[in-house]
Structure 1
């Protein structure tokens, strides 16, 4: 079953009702990077101090951290090496360049 945005928001509000939790839609404020390679943990570890080993940072674990001098949220999506990195949309260009450079795929200097 596919749930549209409005239904998802209603379901989330209902799920946290009475818990003291808070729900805010920040869809337009964040950008998500999917980092998935055999060395994704090593790449991401260059930018943050979190311990990303599987036994510590398990699947569906997320944490807010400073990443590449930016405040980000890192989420381990799978037991393998798939991570989602969430940041403010205004940091998109900076993080794109940082990830490309750290992975060795940035522009070469001649």
Structure 2
């Protein structure tokens, strides 16, 4: 019998890169640009019209999606992923900055004596 993960009432989506299910809150929603181009954009608010695709915000899942040509299948001919690549790179940089800031030890006020 397969193990089924229960996450309450959170909607589940499938990542187009790794094909694993995850909650909506942990995946990025991607949509076509809407201007007739083949550009894919990140729907930060998850409210844009049109068909959406979901992707974990990791470079590994992005690479898998590109390799599998998943963007074109999920979003009807979409191919330009520069916005998605930029967003994932910024997310990784922001996470690294947060970790570095959290690991910096600052003396407490008055403890220098």
Taking structure 2 as the reference length, the TM-score comes to: 0.23
| Higher Cα Rg, which structure | 2
Give the structure with the higher percent strand.
Answer: 1
TM-score normalised by L of structure 1: 0.23
